[in-house]
Structure 1
Amino acid sequence: MMRRLAILVLWSARLLATEYHVAPTGDDKNPGTADKPFRTIQRAASLIKLGDTCHIRGGTYRETVQPWKSGQDGRPIRFVAHRGEQVVVSGADPVTGWKRHKGNIWKADMPWNLGRNNQVFFDGQMLTEARWPNDTDGDLFTANGAPISTGGDWGLSCDLLPDTLATDAWQGGVAWVMAGARWTSFTATIASYKAAEKKVLFSIPDPAWVREHMNPRRGGEFYLVGCLAGLDAPGEWYYEKGDSTLYLIPPVDDDPNQHEVLARRRYTAIDLKGRSHVQFSDIHLHAGGVDMDDAHRCLIERMRATYIAHTRGGQTAASLNEKCALYIAGDGNTIRDCEIAFSAGDGIRVGGNDNRVVNCYIHDTGYLGSYGAPLALSGTGHLVSHCTVHDTGRDGILLSGQAHIVQFCEVYNTGRLARDTGLLYTVGNDGGNTVIHHNWFHDNKAAGLGLGIYLDNFTSNYLVHHNVVWACDDPLRLNKPSTYNLIANNTLVGPVANWGRWETDRMFAVRLYNNLVAKGIQKHPDLILSHNAANAALDAASLRTGKDRPGVDAGILIPGIADQFLGRAPDCGAYEKGDDPPWKPGHDFALAHRADYKPPKTPLRNHVRNGSFELNRVTTLPVNEALSPWKPTGAKAAKPIPGRGGIQTHYDERDSIIGQALCLSGPSDDGIEQEITTLDPNTRYVLAGWLKVKDAASVRLGVRGHGGAEAFRAVSSGKWQLVTLDFTTGAANTKATVFITKPGAGTAFADDIGLLPAWKPEPPPRE
């Protein structure tokens, strides 16, 4: 009876759903039927409700689409292109009525202005905003800048600046600067220009590390953009906001009235902020992005989105301080089978929780040379699968947050503007057992320090396995401090290297097993190595096919990672004997890739969750659950606190190792505890963490409920101390409770807590 009622309700909902129709030949006064369609998609979006579908005929729609309602599970709101027809939602409008200004310069009225986000197209080609020196090759990733002669906190000078420029010719424009260490570009609004001294005056933007390490006093290159003084070359434009006029030198010697000239008018093409269960299928974008901030269970599929985000900058550095990407937050959203191309910042930026990016082709992003990346992840629990990423100014995939999976991706041609970059990069981050597996990373083009998988300083809790990395300076870099990272079964053409700032830099529980390494592994007293084939002879063919490679049957069984094999033992490297054909990464729009979020259940992971006390910073938690899944004990005054400084500050100078730490400051006994439920019986484990006190007598890290006597280690020092505690679970025990306590009054701190098996790999069996 209940089943029949449910079916009846479902069919009733379907019968009540409305199908709207939109066509370029329609009229918004029409009823929106197939024979009398609306003219704009937004007209349908303003009416659409649970379970409704909007069918869109081919054409270009110059508007922002924002559904006024959300769908619900089983009754999504759908926007779909008519079968076989191309639908484009554009953020750009035509600019018409061109008149010759003087010489080869034309002008037209343009009664809108996006400021630093203005963007102009000529017959589909993106044009260059007026600049000096000129862009001579049209390549987004060659700056074509001028050398800095002198520089400092005040700005820069250049001997090559034209003698004919008037004083303040560039006032109000923007300087793009790639200087010093060149980790990132920065942009600065020009305060004034001193023609006699050829000085461009501006303030270097925050943060402090940019002002220090990217300072023009250390040399570099720059260009100036956004003033009429720079309008002197075919394919350039300038917008004068005073009289709302667009000036243009066409890229061809012809009347622009005979061509399509478009200028960006809307920043966003699809706005799904705060919406749930809304789907867009086969709808393409031009000169506009997607904003899915606080969206839930929404779907974007089979979209080609070009020129999604553009800015000339102005007081920006590592961050562009805007949603310069296809932006996803909220939870449970999916982007799949899409092409994302041409962005000054990120391609797809993913925040929130449990979002998916599957079978996407992402290229030509990050052309401002900041920390924008084709794929940039924060938040928790995202899946990136079967994506192809190439050509970007800095990193290919930029990771922060926790518990992500990056799998079956191909990433190449990165680092085309900045230096000290990674094909995949993270820094100062607890990955929360983020998994990076079965990817190809190759061809980092950075002019200095172009690396492969780059786990920079203060990186912890990453599982990196079955990746192939080549054509870069170091295929794997483990900068110190480095903690609880597992590197297994990777094929690495080049050395495994590490670097740190202080003599006390350390590694702890950093394990390298079953790797094929072409040029050896840099030694470190804390590095745990076993069954790696170092100095392996690797040829180009074996990198993509896995054939004729060394390391066959030379590895060790690693539960959950290297436990499916033929022969007497797992192979070293990313391919296993019997893989025929071998796995292949990257997108393929002809295939419907299935991608599930399945972290490996390897016992070698860190079994403590939120051991760095960062979770409330990377995702939204209720105030009273800021330490989740830890539970407060005693005075219940425990809280996460930030430590000052970043990766260039020694951890003994702050109250966290990096980022946040646990602070216990109750007037009496104060602490937290976490039940671990993923242990194996009769197994030896190591509990570890960093402790220090301010004015408390001591602070303790311990374990109980594991089938043995309660045990702990205590610290009374005002400097960070690593403590370790070995224990063995009982014959039937799969649980234990980890606790941190501060007896009595005073304040104490803890950070980077971990629990791992005391695992010693055994050699492969003999013949």
Structure 2
Amino acid sequence: MNKLTVATTMCKLQGKPCQPSRCRMVGIGRSSGSPSVQGAVRIVRALVPVWVAAVGLTFLLGVPARAGVAESPLVLYVAPEGDDRWTGTLPEPNAAGTDGPLATLEAARDRIRQRKRQKGLPRGGVRVEIRPGRHQREATWKLTAEDSGTAASPIVYQGTPGAEIRLSGGRVVRGFRPVKDPAVLKRLDPAARGHVIQADLRGQGITDLGRVNSDRLELFFRDKPMTLARWPNEGFTRIADLVGNKPINVRGTKGDRVGKFVYEGDRPSRWVHEPEAWVHGYWFWDWSDQRHRVASIDLEQRTISVAPPYHHYGYRKGQWYYAFNLLAELDRPGEWYVHRESGLLYFWPPVPVEKGDVVVSLAGDLVLLEDVSHVRLEGLILEAGRGTGVIIRGGSHSSVVNCVVRNLGSWGVRVEGGTGHRVEGCHLYGLGDGGIALSGGDRRRLEPAGHEAVDNDIHHYARWNRMYRPGIALHGVSQRAAHNRIHHAPHQAIGFSGNDHLIELNEIDHVCLESNDAGAIYAGRDWTMRGTVIRHNFMHHVTGFRDRGCVGVYLDDMFCGTTIYGNVFYRVTRAAFIGGGRDCRVENNIFVDCNPALHIDSRAMGWASYHVKTTMKQRLDAMPIR
């Protein structure tokens, strides 16, 4: 009870289904603080025994006795040391080595299919216990409609409680040795010589090295993503000048459409012999990034030319970028580089390589549930894939519960269509894209999907695609994001589009770290996406890149019909922002050290009027509004 906050205590007093174990610190301090909060806690403590007694009496009086003995749930086991020829009904191999757990999730899935065809599902459902260890995934584990459970007989794939169960899309790399090749040593920074080691990936059967900008191989050491060799090692360098011949002027902000610019300093002279140098930058606006392959470097003119397609918004003097995928810049612990022609991996480990596993990602998406209902994934670690951890497409009432989803090339969990799916109690981090994406429902009919992301900890995401890959994305109709902690990311915490979403009781901090003119919670440019409520959230320390300004709740470009109620904003540059929309309500919020607390403008009557006649009108016409 000592961690209940104002918001969660009031949930108790109002009879809302709020559990103390799931309540984030979304109010103003702990319950032991102000007298009003102490009083609320005393009331809750007094009511809990009465409530428990009432529930117990209802249970005793209200549940009829059943004749006979109920059928027990079916339990199967999957273990790294298992065998798909065994029954799967034993957690460990027997002494004779004739029976024991299954080896693969596919075998467990197929046994359940067989059981359903022969006898149907047992009352109470099926539990597949996935035993401790690393379960190597070479391909996506797929479940379809025939793998569904029911409300009375759900199917649960659960890790052994208290153990570490890894579904890994990566391969452990071995056979590291010091770099001896004189040509490679010459290219390395003098500080790196003697520290960088190499391994032959192709010699270990690792032949799919992917591409730099897509389907990319990544390296993880001791369960942390390592850095593809880059310069500068952190942060950015600036565009010194532009030398293109197609100038642009966006409301007084000038630039050029051609990706050719003057660089500062002499560092690029080290890159001229790199086979595949890349640059990543915020080329015109601080909220739009892109990676380019370097086409050429002119040392005399001190220019870098990038390969098309050029950035959509163009390029601007003073904007920032960095270069990467450069063996010559492998100059500090934690950096790596792979030479795709030879298949050699170069790595400077932050500690001796023997003290941890070096893992490279190979598999794509790890898990796909397509048109599946009443299936739960629980207590698993999903890691080291190039794609998404879990995709739920269609179906109803499936869930991902108490899982760790980390070190992936794309999203953590994506829910696409269906109804009533849930992501709960998960820890998501180290993701190339966003954390959780929920979409579904019919906007034309306002039919809800009812998906939920609840009580998750989401951080250090959008490692690769930096912009518009939020911790939680809500699309469609009636999704809910509640009791989540979202922090430490380059751009948005929550991005939404559609109607009637509920964003409540989340703690959001240290986001928009690499962007400006952006929002911790963001939506924009639609008159018809109404009905979302943003309430009882705690947003703090959101100030944008180099403190140039960011927004707590950003209703951009005429976005309408949104309620911002009962939130706490602390040290947020611009707390609530209504950019020309209508029917938005900002009520009962607390603003501390925000400048300003509220911004409202009428941009549709000025510089944004162009969008009214184009994008806004098109989106209005697409909906059945007359």
TM norm structure 2: 0.71
Residue aligned with 1:365, SS: coil
Tell me by how many angstroms 1:42 deviates.
3.4
Looking at structure 1, the residues matched to 488 and 355 of structure 2 have their Cα atoms a distance apart, in angstroms, of 33
Map of 1:113 onto structure 2:
209
Q: 1:40 aligns with which of 66, 89, 104?
A: 104
Q: 1:92 aligns with which of 148, 166, 170?
A: 170
Tell me by how many angstroms 1:357 deviates.
0.7
Looking at structure 1, the residues matched to 422 and 69 of structure 2 have their Cα atoms a distance apart, in angstroms, of 24
The alpha-carbon distance between structure 1 residues 290 and 462, as it changes in their structure 2 partners (threshold 3 A), is: same
The alpha-carbon distance between structure 1 residues 42 and 257, as it changes in their structure 2 partners (threshold 3 A), is: farther
Looking at structure 2, the residues matched to 47 and 37 of structure 1 have their Cα atoms a distance apart, in angstroms, of 12
Map of 1:537 onto structure 2:
none
Residue aligned with 1:373, SS: coil
Q: Check whether the contact 2:525–2:616 (CA below 8 A) recurs between aligned residues.
A: no
Q: Check whether the contact 1:91–1:269 (CA below 8 A) recurs between aligned residues.
A: yes
Map of 1:649 onto structure 2:
610
Map of 1:434 onto structure 2:
532
Matched, 1:405 2:502: yes
Map of 1:566 onto structure 2:
none
Q: 1:187 corresponds to which letter in structure 2?
A: R
Map of 2:263 onto structure 1:
158
Q: 2:397 corresponds to which letter in structure 1?
A: R
Looking at structure 1, the residues matched to 534 and 356 of structure 2 have their Cα atoms a distance apart, in angstroms, of 47
Looking at structure 2, the residues matched to 191 and 132 of structure 1 have their Cα atoms a distance apart, in angstroms, of 17
Q: 1:661 aligns with which of 616, 620, 623?
A: 620
Map of 1:476 onto structure 2:
576
Q: Please give the per-residue CA displacement for 1:695-745, whole angstroms capped at 9, x wherever unaligned.
A: xxxxxxxxxxxxxxxxxxxxxxxxxxxxxxxxxxxxxxxxxxxxx4xxxxx
Q: Which has the higher helix share?
A: 2
The alpha-carbon distance between structure 1 residues 145 and 415, as it changes in their structure 2 partners (threshold 3 A), is: same
TM norm structure 1: 0.59
Looking at structure 1, the residues matched to 296 and 342 of structure 2 have their Cα atoms a distance apart, in angstroms, of 22
Q: 1:54 aligns with which of 128, 131, 139?
A: 128
Q: Please give the per-residue CA displacement for 1:368-414, whole angstroms capped at 9, x wherever unaligned.
A: 43111111111211011111111111122111121111111111111
Q: Check whether the contact 1:45–1:66 (CA below 8 A) recurs between aligned residues.
A: no
Looking at structure 1, the residues matched to 219 and 540 of structure 2 have their Cα atoms a distance apart, in angstroms, of 34
Looking at structure 2, the residues matched to 504 and 282 of structure 1 have their Cα atoms a distance apart, in angstroms, of 53
Matched, 1:362 2:458: yes
The alpha-carbon distance between structure 1 residues 186 and 401, as it changes in their structure 2 partners (threshold 3 A), is: same
Looking at structure 1, the residues matched to 618 and 69 of structure 2 have their Cα atoms a distance apart, in angstroms, of 49
Q: 2:429 aligns with which of 341, 349, 356?
A: 341
Matches within 5 A, 1:194-343: 194-203=298-307, 211-212=312-313, 215-252=314-351, 254=352, 256=353, 259-288=356-385, 289-307=389-407, 309-310=408-409, 323-331=410-418, 332-343=420-431
Matched, 1:499 2:601: yes
Looking at structure 1, the residues matched to 76 and 586 of structure 2 have their Cα atoms a distance apart, in angstroms, of 53
Looking at structure 2, the residues matched to 22 and 663 of structure 1 have their Cα atoms a distance apart, in angstroms, of 49
The alpha-carbon distance between structure 1 residues 350 and 338, as it changes in their structure 2 partners (threshold 3 A), is: same
The alpha-carbon distance between structure 1 residues 662 and 180, as it changes in their structure 2 partners (threshold 3 A), is: closer
Q: Please give the per-residue CA displacement for 1:436-490, whole angstroms capped at 9, x wherever unaligned.
A: 111112211303221111111120111221111121122111111x112222222
Greater relative CO (CA pairs within 8 A, separation 6+):
2
Matches within 5 A, 1:675-686: none
The alpha-carbon distance between structure 1 residues 363 and 216, as it changes in their structure 2 partners (threshold 3 A), is: same
Q: Please give the per-residue CA displacement for 1:244-291, whole angstroms capped at 9, x wherever unaligned.
A: 322222224x4x356421111123232223433221111122224112
Map of 1:184 onto structure 2:
288
Map of 1:67 onto structure 2:
143
Map of 1:145 onto structure 2:
236
- Structure 1: where are the runs of 5+ without partners? 1-6, 136-143, 311-322, 506-646, 665-671, 674-739, 741-767
Looking at structure 1, the residues matched to 268 and 292 of structure 2 have their Cα atoms a distance apart, in angstroms, of 23
Q: Please give the per-residue CA displacement for 1:598-641, whole angstroms capped at 9, x wherever unaligned.
A: xxxxxxxxxxxxxxxxxxxxxxxxxxxxxxxxxxxxxxxxxxxx
Q: Please give the per-residue CA displacement for 1:647-691, whole angstroms capped at 9, x wherever unaligned.
A: 67242x44x634423389xxxxxxx88xxxxxxxxxxxxxxxxxx
Looking at structure 1, the residues matched to 162 and 473 of structure 2 have their Cα atoms a distance apart, in angstroms, of 33
Looking at structure 1, the residues matched to 287 and 268 of structure 2 have their Cα atoms a distance apart, in angstroms, of 32
Looking at structure 2, the residues matched to 663 and 87 of structure 1 have their Cα atoms a distance apart, in angstroms, of 47
Q: 1:362 corresponds to which letter in structure 2?
A: I
Looking at structure 1, the residues matched to 618 and 293 of structure 2 have their Cα atoms a distance apart, in angstroms, of 31
Map of 2:44 onto structure 1:
none
Q: Check whether the contact 1:92–1:287 (CA below 8 A) recurs between aligned residues.
A: yes
The alpha-carbon distance between structure 1 residues 257 and 650, as it changes in their structure 2 partners (threshold 3 A), is: closer
Greater C-alpha Rg: 1
Residue aligned with 2:102, SS: coil
Looking at structure 1, the residues matched to 156 and 268 of structure 2 have their Cα atoms a distance apart, in angstroms, of 59
Looking at structure 1, the residues matched to 298 and 327 of structure 2 have their Cα atoms a distance apart, in angstroms, of 17
Q: Check whether the contact 2:237–2:320 (CA below 8 A) recurs between aligned residues.
A: yes
Residue aligned with 1:211, SS: coil
The alpha-carbon distance between structure 1 residues 182 and 166, as it changes in their structure 2 partners (threshold 3 A), is: closer
Looking at structure 2, the residues matched to 329 and 386 of structure 1 have their Cα atoms a distance apart, in angstroms, of 22
Looking at structure 1, the residues matched to 604 and 163 of structure 2 have their Cα atoms a distance apart, in angstroms, of 61
The alpha-carbon distance between structure 1 residues 379 and 663, as it changes in their structure 2 partners (threshold 3 A), is: closer
The alpha-carbon distance between structure 1 residues 42 and 161, as it changes in their structure 2 partners (threshold 3 A), is: farther
Looking at structure 1, the residues matched to 406 and 87 of structure 2 have their Cα atoms a distance apart, in angstroms, of 32
Looking at structure 2, the residues matched to 344 and 113 of structure 1 have their Cα atoms a distance apart, in angstroms, of 17
Tell me by how many angstroms 1:303 deviates.
1.0
Looking at structure 1, the residues matched to 390 and 416 of structure 2 have their Cα atoms a distance apart, in angstroms, of 11
Residue aligned with 1:39, SS: coil
Q: Check whether the contact 2:406–2:412 (CA below 8 A) recurs between aligned residues.
A: no
Q: 1:491 corresponds to which letter in structure 2?
A: I
Q: Check whether the contact 1:284–1:305 (CA below 8 A) recurs between aligned residues.
A: yes
- Bigger shift: residues 235-244 or 408-417: 235-244
Q: Check whether the contact 1:186–1:370 (CA below 8 A) recurs between aligned residues.
A: no
Q: Check whether the contact 1:327–1:348 (CA below 8 A) recurs between aligned residues.
A: yes
Looking at structure 2, the residues matched to 387 and 149 of structure 1 have their Cα atoms a distance apart, in angstroms, of 42
Q: Check whether the contact 2:166–2:382 (CA below 8 A) recurs between aligned residues.
A: yes
Tell me by how many angstroms 1:337 deviates.
1.1
Tell me by how many angstroms 1:500 deviates.
4.5
Tell me by how many angstroms 1:22 deviates.
1.4
The alpha-carbon distance between structure 1 residues 659 and 72, as it changes in their structure 2 partners (threshold 3 A), is: farther
Q: Check whether the contact 1:171–1:191 (CA below 8 A) recurs between aligned residues.
A: no
Q: 1:418 corresponds to which letter in structure 2?
A: S
How many percent identity over aligned positions? Answer: 22
Residue aligned with 1:44, SS: helix
Looking at structure 2, the residues matched to 285 and 66 of structure 1 have their Cα atoms a distance apart, in angstroms, of 15
What is the count of residue pairs matched by the alignment? 485
